[in-house]
């Protein structure tokens, strides 16, 4: 019953958007104008109805729904019943549609844009919605009825039963799908030739918001990978991680180039291109992941017809957009004001660097497909490729970003240049000191000097601004600097945690104490916990520093009854400067083998991301 | 001239679509690898022992035994998922020879990986240049080959193995 309601909702929302698209052609007529908005709001009502029906089916463990049967179980905790709704391919595509529609509605309340432009944007957004809802209805219907009578489901993959992962997909989708609105805005602006400052202001705010959500989504995902997978790291260059990184980088380039356009009325063609690119990469990523072409830790049930359908969507949407781009792209005769070092040139270098990084990622991701089609041979592209290409490409960008917000648009001068030079010397010396005190490593050296330099100059620039403006409009002047400060922290965290990570294996008995430098670790006791849907073997470890008890760390293994899978739950002790990361492995002759990772400055990554998100929020909200 | 320059993204999009479409239409399921070597003799190879680089493991020595060759690497994340299952295979079928090949990896990182995750293999070789992988047509990690007692590759699995794959695809060949 509930499946039927959900399916009807899905079909109705499709038709409402058909009405939106068709009534756009009769927009001169006042009555059709009313229908246009009415259909738009009805569409939201029906997709909400559809989405919440599915959620209700999950909550009530209605196994007559095939999707619920395949991905849920009645013993699952309430939270994971809710999040199970989007923990699978079909449900997540329904969430995709819901978010796409919400974007359209929220955008329809915009009052700053001209009516024609606004309606054209809604028209494009609705058309995109139609494409994707057709995909869901035809190939990924979440409301299929189970053909057999069952009273229990197959269960949700245990590694997905985690709070961080429960909210990771919605954030990610708000980012990915949000780029569809950016595409609609770009197409509408290009076709109606209204790429004025007002348009830039609107698209900038939306881009920033989407990019922000995508950042949050990716960060949540990698934080999850860090503590749930128990592999000691947080980024694995997995194909799914790469495809989320591509639109993220393109979005970053877009946010930055919008600044040049806003100030200097330049590069309009370029921002139209980037706007198209962002959503194109989102669709391509979806295709690569959902068609099963790439194997990765994110496994979705795959089906060839689905792949072909998304591929056709990709070609249609991207192809149409790029044709519009070729035919209508604006060109300006104004020359770029490129000086040796001014804001425009810094931003252009940023864009070039970002685009090259994006292409490198894209190449690495689709290269195996190209090679196989051409030569019938199979090759693999893994972490070594990405580490040795993407990271060096990004370096010049990092070098410039430290001072870029302080540069002037028109002239070659940097205010108080002397102070920055002193600062560079100081950071240089302190990096040499750090390199001397730790083990020397060229990448560590580069990473440290860059991040310290970014952090120091950002702080100095904030100080300069404060002295000049006396905290007046603090965020207006300093927001970019705060974001860059966050990036500085992230780079510092990445450098230290990946290069100076240490890893030790021990074998330990209950009650035994092992020593590692100034720290010692004692396995206090092992306990068996029975939970509703899993059984947990938990080792309680006590961490001492010079005989002083610091904390107790709980590291465990879980056995999930339904799916018969064992997962590791790493025990992590977060300190400001380092993480103790403890993984419990197997038992042999009463001795437990454990792995201790010592990850310095990992917390800086998360702090940096929080700073970036905060500054992005300010950017979205500020007038 | 300018229009040609502007068309570059469109051309790239079309090219990507064509390649993906050909890939999809040929029904190349990435978990079902091309059959180039399937049902053929295992090419002979000599590989450096991961734990002792003066020692060479030669595939000829194992002729007459059922072999399971698994390609892995410390940088490969799906490998970590399948890794524990090899202990199970070894436990249930102790007679088969389990060979691990550390693919395109630094030797010491491979050793660390096996120290942490445990070492289910009878022999572990390191193929740091990927040349043996090339000979066997390795496409993506992890990849698992089953060679029967006559030295013929009877099965190949791409991607992490699961319990289901062991029962459905691997056990029929090693029993």
The interface residues of chain B toward chain A in range 20-79, judged by CB-CB distance below 8 A, are 20-31, 33-34, 36, 73, 75-78
Q: pTM, whole model, 2 decimals?
A: 0.80
Give the gap in angstroms from C-alpha A564 to the nearest C-alpha of chain B: 10
Spans of all domains in chain B = 31-174
Specify the pLDDT at position A472. Answer: 66
* Minimum-distance CB partner of B24 among A291, A331, A585: A291
CA A603/CA A573 separation, integer angstroms: 11
Do residues A56 and A9 share a domain?
Answer: yes
Cβ separation of A231 and B16 shorter than 8 Å? no
The residue from A344, A371, A398 where one domain ends is A398
What DSSP character marks residue A556?
E
Cβ separation of B24 and A293 shorter than 8 Å? yes
Specify the pLDDT at position A564. Answer: 67
pLDDT surpasses 80 at A602 = yes
CA B15/CA B6 separation, integer angstroms: 16
* Minimum-distance CB partner of A384 among B3, B22, B75: B75
Q: Which residues of chain B have a CB within 8 Å of the CB of A326?
A: 3, 6-7, 10
Query: Digits of tens for pLDDT over chain B (175 positions)?
Result: 577 788 888 999 999 888 888 887 776 555 454 555 677 777 788 888 888 877 888 877 887 888 888 988 887 777 887 888 888 888 888 888 888 988 877 778 888 888 888 888 888 888 877 777 777 777 667 888 888 888 888 888 877 787 777 887 788 877 7
Lateral strand order in the sheet of A571-574: A502-508, A591-600, A578-588, A571-574
Secondary structure of A183-249 in the HEC alphabet? HHHHHHHHHCCCCCHHHHHHHHHHHHHHHHHHHHHHHHHHHHHHHHCCCCCCCCCCHHHHHHHHHHH
CA B34/CA B37 separation, integer angstroms: 8
Specify the pLDDT at position A129. Answer: 96
Q: Which residue range forms the structural domain that includes residue A409? A: 399-499+604-621
Least confidently predicted of A153-167, A187-201, A343-357, A511-525: A153-167
Specify the pLDDT at position A337. Answer: 65
Do residues A169 and A113 share a domain?
Answer: no
Do residues A209 and A221 share a domain?
Answer: yes
Do residues A314 and A236 share a domain?
Answer: yes
Give the gap in angstroms from C-alpha A453 to the nearest C-alpha of chain B: 31
Q: Each residue of A169-198: pLDDT tens digit?
A: 899 999 999 999 999 999 999 999 888 888
CB of B76 closer than 8 Å to CB of B142: yes
The residue from A160, A184, A212 where one domain ends is A160
B9: contact with A, CB 8 A cutoff? yes
Do residues A222 and A247 share a domain?
Answer: yes
Cβ separation of A380 and B29 shorter than 8 Å? no
Q: Each residue of A63-81: pLDDT tens digit?
A: 888 888 888 888 888 888 8
Who has greater pLDDT, A472 or A247?
A: A247
Neighbours of A35 (CB within 10 A): 16
Q: Which residues of chain A have a CB within 8 Å of the CB of B22?
A: 373
Q: Which residues of chain A have a CB within 8 Å of the CB of B75?
A: 236-237, 382-384
Cβ separation of A318 and B13 shorter than 8 Å? yes
Cα dihedral B23→B26→B31→B32 (10° resolution): -150
The residue from A108, A135, A160 where one domain ends is A160
Give the gap in angstroms from C-alpha B66 to the nearest C-alpha of chain A: 25
Do residues A366 and A222 share a domain?
Answer: yes
Do residues A392 and A403 share a domain?
Answer: no
Query: Residue A559, by phi and psi: left (phi above 0), alpha (psi -120 to 50) or beta?
Result: beta
Query: Terminal CA-to-CA distance of chain A, rounded, Å?
Result: 48
CB of A618 closer than 8 Å to CB of A485: no
Do residues A326 and A352 share a domain?
Answer: yes
Cβ separation of B13 and A322 shorter than 8 Å? yes
pLDDT surpasses 80 at A443 = yes
- Quote the distance between the C-alpha of residue B15 and its chain's center: 29
Specify the pLDDT at position A317. Answer: 95
B124: contact with A, CB 8 A cutoff? no
Cβ separation of A280 and B10 shorter than 8 Å? no
A519 DSSP β-pair partners? A516, A545
Give the gap in angstroms from C-alpha A207 to the nearest C-alpha of chain B: 21
* Minimum-distance CB partner of B75 among A273, A277, A383: A383
Specify the pLDDT at position B41. Answer: 78
Do residues A434 and A566 share a domain?
Answer: no
Give the gap in angstroms from C-alpha B9 to the nearest C-alpha of chain A: 7
pLDDT surpasses 70 at A489 = yes
Task: Read off the pLDDT band of A338 (50, 70, 90).
Answer: low
Do residues A184 and A327 share a domain?
Answer: yes
Task: Read off the pLDDT band of A476 (50, 70, 90).
Answer: confident
Specify the pLDDT at position A95. Answer: 95
Q: Which residues of chain B have a CB within 8 Å of the CB of A304?
A: 24, 27
**What is the full DSSP assignment across A289-331?**
HHTTSS--SS-----HHHHHHHHHHHHHHHHHHHHHHHHH---
B129: contact with A, CB 8 A cutoff? no
Do residues A479 and A566 share a domain?
Answer: no
Do residues A437 and A386 share a domain?
Answer: no
Architecture of domain B31-174: 3-Layer(aba) Sandwich (3.40)
pLDDT surpasses 80 at A324 = yes
Contacts of A220 (CB under 8 A, 6+ apart): A164, A165, A167, A168, A171, A172
Cβ separation of B16 and A366 shorter than 8 Å? yes
Contacts of A256 (CB under 8 A, 6+ apart): A347, A350, A351, A354
Cβ separation of B30 and A325 shorter than 8 Å? no
Region A564-586: mean pLDDT is: 79
């Amino acid at each position: 019953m509930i499946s039927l309601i959900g399916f009807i909702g899905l079909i109705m929302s499709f038709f409402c958007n058909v009405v939106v698209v068709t009534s756009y052609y009769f927009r001169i007529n006042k009555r059709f104008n009313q229908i246009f908005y009415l259909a738009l709001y009805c569409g939201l009502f029906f997709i909400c109805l559809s989405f919440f029906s599915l959620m209700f089916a999950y909550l009530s463990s209605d196994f007559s729904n095939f999707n619920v049967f395949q991905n849920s179980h009645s013993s699952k905790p309430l939270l994971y019943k809710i999040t199970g709704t989007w923990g699978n391919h079909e449900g997540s595509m329904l969430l995709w549609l819901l978010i796409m529609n919400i974007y359209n509605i929220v955008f329809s309340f915009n009052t700053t844009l001209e009516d024609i432009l606004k309606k054209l944007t809604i028209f494009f957004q609705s058309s995109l919605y139609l494409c994707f809802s057709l995909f869901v209805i035809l190939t990924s219907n979440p409301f299929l009825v189970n053909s057999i009578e069952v009273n229990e489901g197959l269960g949700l993959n245990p590694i997905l039963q985690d709070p961080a992962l429960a909210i990771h997909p919605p954030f990610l989708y708000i980012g990915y799908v949000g780029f569809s609105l950016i595409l609609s805005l770009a197409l509408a602006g290009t076709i109606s030739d209204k790429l004025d400052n007002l348009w830039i202001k609107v698209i900038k705010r939306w881009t920033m918001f989407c990019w922000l959500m995508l950042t949050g989504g990716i960060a949540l995902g990698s934080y999850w990978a860090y503590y749930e997978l128990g592999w000691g790291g947080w980024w694995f260059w997995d194909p799914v991680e790469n495809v989320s990184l591509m639109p993220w980088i393109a979005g970053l380039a877009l946010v930055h180039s919008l600044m040049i356009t806003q100030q200097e009325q330049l590069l309009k063609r370029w921002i139209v291109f980037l706007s198209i690119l962002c959503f194109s990469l989102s669709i391509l990523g979806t295709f690569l992941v959902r068609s099963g072409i790439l194997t990765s830790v994110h496994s979705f049930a795959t089906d060839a017809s689905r792949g072909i359908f998304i591929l056709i969507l990709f070609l249609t949407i991207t192809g149409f957009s790029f044709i519009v781009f070729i035919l209508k792209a604006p060109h300006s005769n104004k020359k770029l004001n490129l000086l040796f070092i001014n804001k425009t040139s810094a931003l252009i270098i940023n864009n070039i660097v970002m685009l090259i990084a994006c292409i490198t990622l894209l190449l690495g991701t689709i290269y195996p497909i190209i090679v196989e089609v051409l030569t019938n041979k199979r090759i693999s592209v893994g972490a070594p490729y990405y580490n040795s290409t993407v990271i060096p490409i990004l370096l010049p960008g990092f070098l410039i970003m430290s001072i870029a917000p302080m540069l002037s648009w028109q002239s070659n001068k940097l205010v108080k240049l002397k102070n920055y030079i002193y600062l560079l010397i100081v950071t240089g010396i302190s990096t040499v000191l750090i390199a001397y005190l730790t083990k020397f490593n060229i990448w560590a050296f580069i990473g440290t000097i860059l991040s310290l330099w970014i952090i120091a100059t950002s702080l100095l620039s904030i100080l300069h601004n404060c002295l000049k403006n006396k905290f007046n409009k603090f965020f207006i002047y300093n927001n970019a600097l705060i974001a860059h400060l966050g990036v500085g922290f992230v780079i510092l965290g990445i450098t230290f945690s990946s290069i100076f990570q240490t890893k030790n294996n021990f074998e330990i008995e209950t009650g035994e104490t092992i020593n590692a430098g100034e720290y010692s670790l004692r396995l206090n006791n092992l306990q068996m916990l029975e939970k509703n849907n899993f059984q947990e073997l938990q080792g309680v470890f006590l961490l001492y520093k010079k005989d002083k008890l610091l904390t107790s760390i709980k590291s465990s293994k879980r056995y999930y009854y339904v799916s018969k899978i064992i997962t590791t739950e790493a025990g992590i002790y977060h300190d400001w400067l380092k993480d103790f990361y403890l993984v419990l492995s197997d038992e042999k002759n009463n001795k437990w083998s454990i792995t201790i990772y010592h990850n310095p400055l990992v917390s800086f990554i998360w702090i940096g991301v929080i700073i970036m998100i905060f500054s992005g929020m300010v950017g979205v909200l500020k007038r | 001239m300018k229009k040609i320059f502007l068309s570059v993204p469109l051309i790239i999009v079309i090219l990507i679509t064509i390649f993906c479409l050909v890939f999809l239409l040929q029904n190349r399921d990435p978990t079902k690898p091309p059959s180039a070597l399937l049902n053929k003799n295992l090419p002979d190879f000599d590989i450096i022992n991961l734990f002792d680089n003066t020692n060479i493991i030669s595939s000829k020595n194992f002729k007459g035994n059922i072999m399971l060759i698994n390609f892995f690497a410390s940088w490969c994340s799906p490998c970590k998922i399948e890794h524990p299952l090899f202990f199970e295979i070894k436990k249930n079928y102790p007679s088969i020879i389990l060979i691990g090949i550390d693919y395109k990896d630094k030797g010491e990182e491979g050793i660390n990986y096996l120290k942490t995750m445990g070492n289910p293999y009878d022999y572990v070789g390191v193929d740091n240049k990927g040349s043996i992988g090339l000979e066997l047509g390795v496409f993506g990690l992890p990849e698992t080959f089953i060679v029967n007692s006559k030295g013929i590759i009877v099965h190949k699995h791409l991607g992490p193995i699961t319990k289901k794959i062991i029962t459905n695809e691997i056990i029929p060949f090693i029993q």
